[in-house]
């Protein structure tokens, strides 16, 4: 037992050293003196169903960036809802195009949007994402000056309305989602600095060369993934990332405040509890190790709470999330053909053999 614990401690120390090294090594791509791409080259593509009321504000911010066009890819049953939400933006009607897909499936809707877009760079944007800073477009375009770069993603943080930035108001679910996005930022820049790779280029806001998505072979691979006889709707950004790498393209992570976007997060429970009562001793030992160990929670939480002090009362929720994460991962992998937990209701399409 002592040898095992010593080995775990040594591994943790080494892991901490490696992470710290690459975190310091990471550098975002600066703006070039002369850019070969501008806002006029950017087509925003937004797949949406069950569109939230915040869509109007999101659209307003995207339009403020003056893109070439915004392609809204929805389904016929949601078209009226979309038209209502963009009505306040009718002065920009010449830049807004609505297309419909036959299937409520994010991957299929995205490819319908791709066929309607005309820019050199496609910005794949979720329908609940805000571009609060005016520099998102130039900073996410900057890495494309390297002809080998096929896709670029930036910082993605939680959108917390000012009235909810209060320790007495914010819920554990909001605090946990905020913490998770903050941790993901650190993880991605470390992986990218280490070998130029990335596990997942999140499609909350992802800039991709048009030629990549317009390739029919790419489109077929992306839209025709089947698990358990069912056309897959989930993990679209993970699959997209893999296909980009498989075709020999490099990617870039622009973790800089100038390229930061924010996204809506749940205010209530959308997570599953897993009981730890079956082994209280092991649970307590795990919490003590993670909280006070070399690579423990305390330094991580200290940095997070410095930026989000109003989340301090919800630290217990972070502990829960870190504990059940591996369990949830296993559950997700075993139920990949069931995406009923999604916040948007997709159509189900099974493959008949």
Q: Which residues have C-beta within 8 Å of that of residue 28, sequence separation ≥ 6?
A: 139, 253, 254, 255, 256, 259
Look at residue 351 and tell me if it is in a domain: no
Q: Are residues 290 and 200 in the same domain?
A: no
Q: Per-residue pLDDT tens for 155-168?
A: 888 888 888 877 77
Q: Are residues 107 and 186 in the same domain?
A: yes
Q: Which CATH number fits the domain that encloses residue 178?
A: 3.90.550.10
Identify the CA nearest to 59 among candidates 119, 130, 116: 130
Look at residue 134 and tell me if it is in a domain: yes
Q: Are residues 112 and 87 in the same domain?
A: yes
Q: Are residues 131 and 229 in the same domain?
A: yes
Look at residue 353 and tell me if it is in a domain: no
Q: Per-residue pLDDT tens for 25-80?
A: 889 999 999 999 999 999 999 999 999 999 999 999 999 999 999 999 999 999 99
Q: Per-residue pLDDT tens for 181-212?
A: 777 777 788 888 888 888 788 768 999 999 99
Q: Are residues 45 and 124 in the same domain?
A: yes
Look at residue 295 and tell me if it is in a domain: yes
| Residue 272: predicted pLDDT | 41
Q: Are residues 264 and 227 in the same domain?
A: yes
Q: Per-residue pLDDT tens for 275-315?
A: 344 444 444 444 444 444 444 555 666 666 777 777 766 66
Q: Are residues 254 and 284 in the same domain?
A: no
Boundary-marking domain end, from 269, 297, 324 = 269
Q: Which residues have C-beta within 8 Å of that of residue 302, sequence separation ≥ 6?
A: none
Q: Are 149 and 251 in contact (CB under 8 A)?
A: yes
| CA pair distance 203, 45, nearest whole angstrom | 11
Number of domains in the chain: 2
Sheet containing strand 250-254, strands side by side: 96-100, 69-74, 42-47, 121-125, 205-209, 149-154, 250-254
Look at residue 19 and tell me if it is in a domain: no
| CA pair distance 241, 210, nearest whole angstrom | 15
Q: Are residues 220 and 241 in the same domain?
A: yes
| Residue 353: predicted pLDDT | 39
Q: Which two tokens stand for residue 305?
A: 């709470």
Look at residue 1 and tell me if it is in a domain: no
Q: Are residues 250 and 303 in the same domain?
A: no
Look at residue 258 and tell me if it is in a domain: yes
pLDDT reading at 213 higher than 90: yes
CA 348 to chain centre: 23
Look at residue 9 and tell me if it is in a domain: no
Q: Are residues 252 and 303 in the same domain?
A: no
Q: Are residues 67 and 181 in the same domain?
A: yes
pTM for this predicted structure: 0.78
CA 234 to chain centre: 13
Range of the domain at 87: 36-269
| Residue 52: predicted pLDDT | 93
| Residue 24: predicted pLDDT | 85
Q: Are residues 307 and 240 in the same domain?
A: no
């Amino acid at each position: 037992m002592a040898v095992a614990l010593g080995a775990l401690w040594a591994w943790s120390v080494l892991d901490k050293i490696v992470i710290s090294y690459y975190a310091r090594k990471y550098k975002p791509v600066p703006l070039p003196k002369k850019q070969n791409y501008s806002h006029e080259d950017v087509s925003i593509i937004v797949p949406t169903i069950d569109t939230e009321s915040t869509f109007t504000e999101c659209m307003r911010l995207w339009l403020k960036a003056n893109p070439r066009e915004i392609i809204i890819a929805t389904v016929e049953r949601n078209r009226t809802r979309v038209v209502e939400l963009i009505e306040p933006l009718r002065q920009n009607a010449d830049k807004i195009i609505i297309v419909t897909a036959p299937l409520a499936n994010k991957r299929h809707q995205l490819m319908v949007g791709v066929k309607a877009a005309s820019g050199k760079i496609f910005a794949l944007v979720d329908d609940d994402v805000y571009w609060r800073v005016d520099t998102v477009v130039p900073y996410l375009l900057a890495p494309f000056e390297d002809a080998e770069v096929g896709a670029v993603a930036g910082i993605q943080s939680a959108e917390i309305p000012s009235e909810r930035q209060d320790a007495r108001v914010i819920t554990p679910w909001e605090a946990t989602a905020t913490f998770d996005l903050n941790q993901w930022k650190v993880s991605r820049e470390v992986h990218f600095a280490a070998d130029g790779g990335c596990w997942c280029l999140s499609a909350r806001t992802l800039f991709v060369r048009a030629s990549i998505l317009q390739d029919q072979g790419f489109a077929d691979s992306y839209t025709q993934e089947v698990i358990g006889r069912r056309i897959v709707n989930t993990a679209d950004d993970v699959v997209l990332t893999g296909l980009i790498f498989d075709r020999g393209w490099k990617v870039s992570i622009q973790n800089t405040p100038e390229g930061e976007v924010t996204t809506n997060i749940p205010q209530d429970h959308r997570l599953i509890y897993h009981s730890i009562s079956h082994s209280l001793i092991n649970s307590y030992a795990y919490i003590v190790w993670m909280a006070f160990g070399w690579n423990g929670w305390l330094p991580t939480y200290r940095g997070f709470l410095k930026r989000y002090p109003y989340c301090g009362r919800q630290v217990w929720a972070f502990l829960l999330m870190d504990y059940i994460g591996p369990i949830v991962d296993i559950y997700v992998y075993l139920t990949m053909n069931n995406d009923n937990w999604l916040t948007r209701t997709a159509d189900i399409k099974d493959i008949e053999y």
